[in-house]
A and B are shown apart, each in its own frame.
Chain A
Amino acid sequence: AQSVAQPEDQVNVAEGNPLTVKCTYSVSGNPYLFWYVQYPNRGLQFLLKYITGDNLVKGSYGFEAEFNKSQTSFHLKKPSALVSDSALYFCAVRERAYNTDKLIFGTGTRLQVFP
């Protein structure tokens, strides 16, 4: 079965500093990995995905993620955090099973960026 884990419930970072939100995965076969962000009282917004190719994936709002096969990780990064980046971040993997391709989500990491 596919799964992802987000080991940190919350990450705190000062504005202007680099940020990292961690995600590790467990899949059989090739992983199809996604990051979503949820702002208060809003739905989930797609940030970026890794399907194949370059290990560094660039996404929306200046975010990028690094795929590391040996460490089974897909950490979300941003070189310089903004207060407006404060939100709930979810890592997800596409299920690869007969007849379904549902997304399986991690437990989420709350990012707090302080001015």
Chain B
Amino acid sequence: RKEVEQDPGPFNVPEGATVAFNCTYSNSASQSFFWYRQDCRKEPKLLMSVYSSGNEDGRFTAQLNRASQYISLLIRDSKLSDSATYLCVVNPLYSSASKIIFGSGTRLSIRP
């Protein structure tokens, strides 16, 4: 079983729609969690951290469920520019001095 698993998609949704992705992780001792965004043929970039209490950044909401070991990302009022691959990232520690694991990514395509 992979340490971090994501639905690969692709998700193809119309502009303005709400879309949600989930990610599960196997290491129950994992401490910190993130969503990264990767555009085609570009490097990954941090989208947002995921906090235990859940957090929101504009149209994006991230949630963590430690009991079920999953992380979610919700995108509201999707824009064409949201088209990208979204990578779930799990860190065993709170600091970056650790083996940080990426999921295989969920592809999102927003259509006009």
A-B interaction: no
Residues on B facing A (Cβ under 8 Å): none
Interfacial residues, chain A to chain B (CB-CB below 8 A): none
